[in-house]
Amino acid sequence: MREFGLPARYEVPPGGSLADVPRGNAERVPDLAVLARRRDDGGWDDVSASAFHAEVRAVAKGLLASGVRPGDRVGLLSRTRYEWTLLDFAIWTAGAVSVPVYETSSAEQAAWNLSDSGAVAVVVESRDHLATVTALTDRLPELRTVWCLDPDEGPGAITALRDAGADVPDGDLDAATATVTPDSPATIVYTSGTTGRPKGCLLTHRAFLTVSGNALARLGPLFRSGQGSLLLFLPLAHVFARMVQVATQLAPIRLGHVPDVTTLTDDLASFRPTIVLGVPRVFEKVYNAARTKAEEEGKGRVFDRAARTAERYSRALDTPRGPGPALRLTHRLFDTLVYRRLRAALGGRATHAISGGAPLGDRLGHFFRGVGFTVLEGYGLTETCAPTAFNPADAPRIGTVGPPVPGTLMRIADDGEILVRGDHLFRGYWNNEAATREAMTGGWFHTGDLGSLDADGYLTVTGRKREILVTAGGKNVAPAVIEDRVRAHALIAECLVVGDGRPYVAALITLDDEFLPRWAADHGLGDLPREELLRRDELRAAVQEAVDDGNAAVSRAESIRRFHVLPGQFTESAGHVTPSLKLRRHVVTKDFAREIDDLYGGA
């Protein structure tokens, strides 16, 4: 199939905006807990719809009192926390435009986002962030005000804004909100920049409401108002988390925030979400940690049998007859011994997760569904306001990213590129008309990704158009297929396939810093320094197992013939990965050019 679309199931109200969401909740369900704030003791304080709406208006008045006007851009530089959601809706209520900045951003990255967007104000989280932005003021001519959420002394940003807006009349705020239409800018999200300088994607109120409303209509019971809850730990500077933030309030369901993922296990146990949001690496780590713990307790073989049973059970669900009696019995036994403990580690209530950003992989997808925790994979980009396709809860197809979001039309071009059309698309790149023209043709957004649609409109993403390697023998290789399979091994952190213009495919591999010490201890090598450990034949054999497993997913011409294990991981600080953990291939291949040449005999 070359083209597929689904009719919209949600229409943006005329004159509607994101500012209507907290107001509507306060009118319809004033006492419903729509958010929860984490206490210092690890507990949670619920925030009702009416209380949140009142706080949003108070902060929005503070923005107006401080000189922020409709259409102005306001930066947000913080970890994922309650105040981010509060500020986002307050900025929209004041008619302004939010500009997210990753809290891990370098000074240069922060300067670009704030200067290119022309931000007139910025809210930062910490003293270090404050120092970073203060040092950039001579490069930010539009910037007038900086607030800090957690200053060393004096009131924090929220208190300062509430105090500043105490005397602002309701009518002034209502007038500012009334300037916003569905097609007004809501946010400028800067792409991660896997190549070149990041571009600012201008996303409208319509885009967020369209994609959130239609996604909720398709997901149904998972976001049932008054019953559902979601714990957000992905960075809110990423469009995926921002869209889900909006969707939880549009539903509405209870939303919690985790600023520090080192406490995630405890936070999951105390918050007990009904749905989990993550990226593939999160679910890989859940699996690897569970398997490692089982091995430490002397139950490794039991876990492996349980994992195989879960995968077989899930695959059987996709057959006309379903799982047979013997498989059902074995599955029930392992549910008691293994699966329940895994679900408990995720809070005990969640039956589904939403995953995006990269492929999860067929094997892990079946494993998690087999243990009673279905991971619904989706696909989208910043330019599509996050998901443009996702697997529905009632009809998932593992290995695909599902059909298009209702209201979206999807086409596969002659060269295999995925093209998208719909009201959820970005309005263009901020201050970059040339890039906008290149990405949009006749109303179609060119994603740069390759894929295929099956007879029912389910999309399978096969790779990046610009990342296709062509070996010296003329073989086209899509790196994502084998990279994802190799990375699924507990020992592997990242795998980057190379081979463009070379005689065969090779790879640079990094090891998982958390799992490596456990592996070394299990193999009697725990006392060795890392440099010596990396030279051991036992380690190379273990990496070879991961590579062999990846090679099993592709043809011989596409398989990895040689690999090099790097001494450390790819890091954001070195420029090797984006804040959303996508590899910057051009940077990695440049920095490790010598190692790549060595894989081909130093050619």
Q: Which residue has the higher pLDDT, 274 or 558?
A: 274
CB-neighbour burial class of residue 455 (10 A; exposed 0-12, middle 13-18, buried 19+): exposed
> What is the average pLDDT across 139-156?
94
> What is the average pLDDT across 201-207?
98
CA neighbor of 425 nearest in space, from 181, 203, 190: 203
Average pLDDT of the chain is 92
pTM, two decimal places: 0.84
pLDDT digits (tens, 9 = 90+) for 564-603: 999 998 888 888 887 767 788 888 888 999 999 999 986 4
pLDDT digits (tens, 9 = 90+) for 293-342: 888 888 989 999 999 999 999 999 999 999 999 999 999 999 999 999 99
Residues 6 or more apart whose Cβ sits within 8 Å of residue 31: 48, 49, 50
- Residues forming a β-bridge with 528: none
Q: Say how many C-beta atoms besides its own lie within 10 A of residue 552's C-beta.
A: 10
DSSP-assigned states of every residue in 181-228: -TTSEEEEEEP--SSSS--EEEEEHHHHHHHHHHHHHHHGGGG-TTT-
> What is the average pLDDT across 54-74?
98
pLDDT digits (tens, 9 = 90+) for 13-43: 999 999 999 999 999 999 999 999 999 888 9
pLDDT digits (tens, 9 = 90+) for 528-551: 999 999 999 999 999 999 999 989
Token code pair at residue 239: 């469009």
Distances (CA, A) of 599 to 243, 322, 411: 42, 46, 39
Per-residue confidence at 284, pLDDT binned at 50, 70, 90?
confident
Q: Does the structure show a pLDDT above 80 at 195?
A: no
Per-residue confidence at 192, pLDDT binned at 50, 70, 90?
low
pLDDT digits (tens, 9 = 90+) for 462-515: 877 777 787 876 677 878 878 888 988 889 999 999 998 888 999 999 999 888
- What domains lie within the chain, and their CATH numbers? 16-274 (3.40.50.12780), 278-348+351-465 (3.40.50.12780), 468-599 (3.30.300.30)
The answer to whether 69 touches 63, Cβ cutoff 8 Å, is no
What pLDDT score does 17 carry?
97
What pLDDT score does 443 carry?
92
Q: What percent of the chain has pLDDT over 70?
A: 98
What number of H helices and E strands is found in the chain? 22, 26
> What is the average pLDDT across 424-453?
94
The answer to whether 233 touches 80, Cβ cutoff 8 Å, is yes
pLDDT digits (tens, 9 = 90+) for 118-127: 999 999 999 9
What pLDDT score does 471 carry?
80
Q: How many whole angstroms separate alpha carbon 40 and alpha carbon 76?
A: 23
Positive or negative, the CA dihedral 24, 29, 33, 37 is: positive
The single-letter code of the amino acid at 106 is: S
Q: Does the structure show a pLDDT above 50 at 194?
A: no
Q: Does the structure show a pLDDT above 80 at 281?
A: no
